[in-house]
Chains A and B, each alone.
Chain A
Amino acid sequence: MSLPAADVPSDEMRLIVRAKSGDAAALEELGAFCRKLAYVLALQLTGNREDAADLAQDTMLRFFRSLRRFDPRRPVRPWLYRIVRNLARDRLRRARVRRASSLEELTEARGNDLPAAGPGPEATASRWQLQSVVWRAVQELPVHYREVLVLRDYHGLAYAEIARILRLPRGTVMSRLHRGRLMVRQAVHASMQTGLAGEEAADA
């Protein structure tokens, strides 16, 4: 199953074609773009900056090594994500991964870079608290639940795309996602005595 050509933005396709021909500026641009995506996914899968930076770097090596064979009519992200995920799995299997950082630790250095969310300061604080608890719960999930949840909720991919990246049936994606969310819900309930009802303001 491959995506129809129309799904790939034309400027993305052009960029890849130029990069494949060895155009230095296109290579630089494609590299910077993909490196960021790879880093964010790696950070979500491993939970810490050092592993994420290593994985992003390794991903870019593999990415450019196989760029020649890549069909520019296909979207880049699933291909890139598959590389990140496989490398992350390798690393997790060998237990070479460091402790997952909290969301506070990850964002303290550059908290001002975060998008302002919510209507008021109270709602923002409450939303932030929930985000932080959810992040920790996601980091504690077994990896096969975590990767599905990360691709769906943090990257907004459709089930079919996730199924293609992970080489799983779509039904399995749905089941794992649901199981993962149930586990996150349990963790959230355990860590917030007030329960999720207290978050009403943040979501309204």
Chain B
Amino acid sequence: MRDRCPMGFDERLITAFLDGELTQADEQKVRLHLERCPHCRALYEDLRRIRNAAMTTGLPVPSDEEWDERPRTGASLTFRLLGWWLAIPWVIFVLGYALWEAWRGSQGAIVRIMTFGGIAAGALLLLSALLDRLRDLKTDRYRRIMK
């Protein structure tokens, strides 16, 4: 398979011939050589089939809905991550407060933890909804990028 044309023909011309990239004179040269050389004829036939196979290979493209499901830009991705990063300090803060109350052993601690935790969760929910809205503001997104 690795062997070259026994007549020393420049095989790259066969590729260019397939692609219609040769001058008329060079095209004629290739045609004449192909008539005389079985080695290059076999190469030509193989390359032609490979080229046809590649040229007719269709690839599925995501639909518009699938595109919309993806986080769109670097900025929206940052928002998504930001939501998580904000959640972590909240959790630590609430847990810390709960532990502190437990350590003090003060009366009504459970109620205060529940209230505090509830407020924290509510704030978090509000914040994530807000971030979601920001992310979903996709109208004129391209105009924003252009600026």
Contacts and interface: CB of A to CB of B under 8 A. Distances in A.
Interface string A176-204: 01100100111011000000100100110
Interface in B32-54: 43, 45-54
B79 to A, nearest CB: 15
A40 B70 contact: no
Main secondary structure of the interface of B (DSSP, over half): helix
B60 A135 contact: no
Interface string A156-176: 101100000000000000110
Main secondary structure of the interface of A (DSSP, over half): helix
A53 interface: yes
A160 B50 CA distance: 22
Contacts of B73: 57, 61
A67 B55 CA distance: 30
9 contacts: A28-B142, A44-B59, A64-B145, A113-B58, A138-B54, A177-B15, A181-B51, A185-B50, A189-B1
List the 10 closest A-B pairs by CB distance, nearest first. A153-B54, A27-B142, A178-B15, A64-B145, A110-B60, A178-B12, A130-B53, A114-B58, A131-B57, A134-B53
Interface of A: 19, 22, 24, 27-28, 30-32, 35-36, 39-40, 43-44, 53, 57, 60-61, 64-65, 67-68, 103, 106-107, 109-110, 113-115, 117, 127, 130-131, 134-135, 138, 149, 152-154, 156, 158-159, 174-175, 177-178, 181, 184-186, 188-189, 196, 199, 202-203
Given A131-B57, A134-B53, 15 more contacts: A68-B146, A103-B57, A107-B58, A109-B60, A114-B58, A130-B53, A134-B54, A135-B54, A135-B57, A154-B57, A177-B15, A181-B51, A185-B46, A188-B46, A196-B45
